[in-house]
Structure 1
Amino acid sequence: MTYVYLMKNEKPLDTDIITKHVEYLKKLKAEERLLLCGPFTDYPGGMVIFSAENIEEATNIAKADPLISSSCKTFEIRTIELANEGNNYLI
C-alpha cells in the first residue's frame, strides 16, 4: 500500500538532523519504498510518500524518521490510492 506522512515544523532544524533525515530517505529509496518526498514551499513542513505493508508499519517508518524522532516535526499519516495512466486515473 502507499502512504504519505505530512510533517509540520515544531522546532528549528540543524545540519545534523537534516543529514540524518537525508540518510533515512536514502535508506527508504534503497529498500524501494520511497516514491516522492520534499518540503512544502507554502507551509512549514513537508511530506514523504512511500510504500508499506500496513498502517502499523507505515506509522513505524514515519516515527523512525530523524525529523520526527527528534521532535523537530510532528506528523499525520494517510493512506493514498495512486491514480495513474495504468489504472485509468481510478475511473
Structure 2
Amino acid sequence: MKYFAVFLPVISVERSQQYRPLHLEFLEKGRNEGWIFANGRFVDGSGGLVIYIAESMDDVLAKVKQDPFVAMEARGYEIHEWELVMRA
C-alpha cells in the first residue's frame, strides 16, 4: 500500500461550511475502514490535508472525488504520493 497526501484548498467558504458535516462523516468512515491514515485542517483557514492509503493514484483519486467537499466544489484537491518516514 502507498500513502497519498491530498491538499484540500478552500474554493468556497460558504459551501465548506454547508458540507462540513458530510465531509467529517466521510473522513470518519475512511479512518474506520482503514483507507485514511490521518487528516486535519490548516489553522489559517486555507484548507486541510488528508493522508490516504491506497494501491494507486487512480484508487485514491476515486476516493477523493467521493469526498463531499470535492464533489460539491467546496474544495479543490492536489494529490501527491507521500513517503512515510517514522522514527525507529
Q: Is the TM-score greater than 0.5?
A: yes
**What RMSD over aligned residues (CA atoms) do the two structures have, in Å?**
1.3
CA distance in 1, matches of 2:79, 2:37: 15
In structure 1, runs of 5+ residues without a counterpart are 87-91
- Could you tell me which amino acid in structure 1 is paired with residue 8 of structure 2? M
Q: Bigger CA drift: 71-80 or 30-39? A: 30-39
Task: Write the letter of the residue equivalent to 2:5.
Answer: V
Greater shift, 65-74 or 30-39, is seen at 30-39
Instruction: Tell me whether 1:57 sits opposite 2:59 in the alignment.
Output: yes
Query: In the aligned structure 2, how far is the partner of 1:49 from the partner of 1:18?
Result: 18
Equivalent runs, 1:1-91 vs 2, <5 Å: 1-11=2-12, 12=14, 13-15=16-18, 17-42=19-44, 44-86=46-88
> Which whole-Å CA distance do the structure 1 matches of 2:77 and 2:30 have between them?
17
In structure 2, what is the equivalent of residue 89 of structure 1? none
- State, as a whole percentage, how many aligned pairs show the same letter: 25
Alpha-carbon displacement from aligned partner over 1:31-69 (angstroms, at most 9, x marks no partner):
112111111013511110120110000111111100010
TM-score (structure 1 length as normaliser): 0.86
In 2, Cα distance between the equivalents of 1:73 and 1:51? Answer: 20
Q: How many matched pairs?
A: 85
- Give the number of the structure whose alpha-carbon radius of gyration is greater: 1
The runs of 5 or more residues in structure 2 that have no matched partner are none
In the TM superposition, residue 85 of structure 1 has moved relative to its aligned partner by: 2.4
Runs of 4+ in 1 over 4 A off after TM superposition: none
The structural deviation recorded for 1:27 is 1.0
